[in-house]
Amino acid sequence: MSTEQAIQTYRTGARITDVDALVVDGFSVYYETDSGTVKACDDVTFTLKQGERFALVGESGSGKTTLAMGLMRLTRPPGHIAKGSATLNGRDLTTLTDEEMRRTRLSELALVPQGAMNSLNPVMRIERQIIDGILDHVEDDEKSPNKDELDEMVRDLLTRVGLRPGVARLFPHELSGGMKQRVAMAIGISLRPSLIVADEPTSALDVVVQRQIMQTLGRLQEGLDASIMLVGHDMGLVAQFADTIGVMYAGKLVEVGPVEEVFSDPKHPYTKLLIRSLPSLKEKREFLGIPGLPPQLIDLPVGCSFADRCPSVFAKCREVTPLTQDLGGRRETACHLYDGEAKS
């Protein structure tokens, strides 16, 4: 299947173009510790098209948040970007100076954080928190918007995220969890970014609010013609929201593909187990977890890091680290089971 055909299988109404929004190539974030190097995110490669919704899933500790924070250049020492590049709209984010990166954040690349309750300042009114980011990115003081323009912008942003304009005058503690998440989204889109990174944006919310927030986020993204990178572990949410899914395991991206195809025909054994472990509302059946625990990321042995938990393991898995193979139709996996099938 060609790229165009593959794109047609996406959700109806999606405006996915063939323009590359974000090209991540060999991106690695390592943590240097006394006991060795922790390869929290290792040699990750993928491409995000303009208008596409890309979901990154994995267990805690799989490196999905490390990757997202690395792309934002928000990795804290002893972590550092060890190698690779991340090209957003033609500029490699890893080579920007700190000041250039600061200007890029929010204006081109915005973060909707996990747990908005902790990301808002408790002693500042909502309007002030939205305005702060806007004013901080004004390059030329003379073009700075006046108070009326700012008020209008705040009103407009709050309405777009589904809040009444009066929320501007409130403090965070006067809002519910869902409303706070909406404020975080309003801040995120205030400068019309081309890529929104949403890190588990609904993990503390209940299902109805979660659905409302995700649908609002999708509407905003379509309005801006932006791309989204959704980081999370809720496979249900990913199935509802994303166009493309990337599965991370022990710091590596082990499978990428269009969401419908990955759910109906997962390739990597880890993805298979992950999908099988999802409880269903349609039938009662045996609850299955994934046996074992993910490996320690310090000094990973040679070979596939899933080998110890994999039901299909064979000798080669413990000797050679599997490389990502292109299976055609925008499907990729890093597993020796598909060694003969690569379409290079």
Partner 1 sequence: MSTFLELDHVTKTFGSEGMFGNGQITVAVDDVSLSIDEDEASITTVAGESGSGKTTLSRLLLGSHVPSDGRMLYRGKDFTKLTSRERRNFRREIQPIFQDPFESYNPFYKVDHVLDAPIKNFKLASSNREKQRMIEDALEMVGLLPGETLGRFPHQLSGGQRQRIMVARALLLKPRVILADEPVSMVDASLRATILDSIRRLNRDLGISVVYVTHDLTTAYQISDNLMIMYRGAVVEAGTVDEVIPNPQHPYTKLLIESIPQPDPKNRWGSEPPQQNWDTSDTDMAGCRFADRCPAVMDNCRTTVPAQYLINKHQMTRCFLHEDKGEMENPDITSTFQTESETIKAVPANMSI
Residues contributing to the site for partner 1 (CB under 8 A): 11, 59-60, 162, 176-178, 205-212, 215-216, 219, 233-241, 259-260, 263, 273-275, 277-281, 284-291, 293
Looking at the Cβ atoms of 135 and 207, the one nearer to partner 1 is 207
Decide whether 57 or 134 has the Cβ nearer to partner 1: 57
Cβ atoms of 266 and 327 closer than 8 Å: no
To the nearest whole angstrom, how small is the minimum distance from the Cβ of residue 298 to partner 1?
Answer: 15
Least distance CB 266 / partner 1 (angstroms): 11
Nearer to partner 1, 102 or 309 (CB): 309
- CA dist., res. 76 & res. 190, Å (int): 26
Q: Could you tell me which of 197, 235, 247, 236 has the C-alpha nearest to residue 217?
A: 197
Give the Cα separation of 42 and 254 in Å (integer): 11
Distance (Å, whole) CA 290 – CA 172: 39
> Shortest distance, CB of residue 53 to partner 1, whole angstroms?
11
Report the length, in residues, of the chain. 344
Least distance CB 229 / partner 1 (angstroms): 18
Instruction: State which residue, 133 or 162, has the beta carbon closest to partner 1.
Output: 162
Q: CB 284 → partner 1: shortest distance, Å? A: 6
Q: What is the dihedral of CA 231, 233, 236, 237, to 10 degrees?
A: -30
Closer residue to partner 1, CB minimum distance, 31 or 241: 241
Rg (the chain; Cα; Å): 21
Q: In this complex, which beta carbon is closest to partner 1, that of residue 94 or of residue 240?
A: 240
CB 92 to partner 1: min, Å: 33
CB 205 within 8 A of CB 214: no
Phi and psi, residue 322, nearest 5°: -70, 140
Q: Count CB-CB contacts under 10 A for residue 207.
A: 10
d(CA 39, CA 42): 6
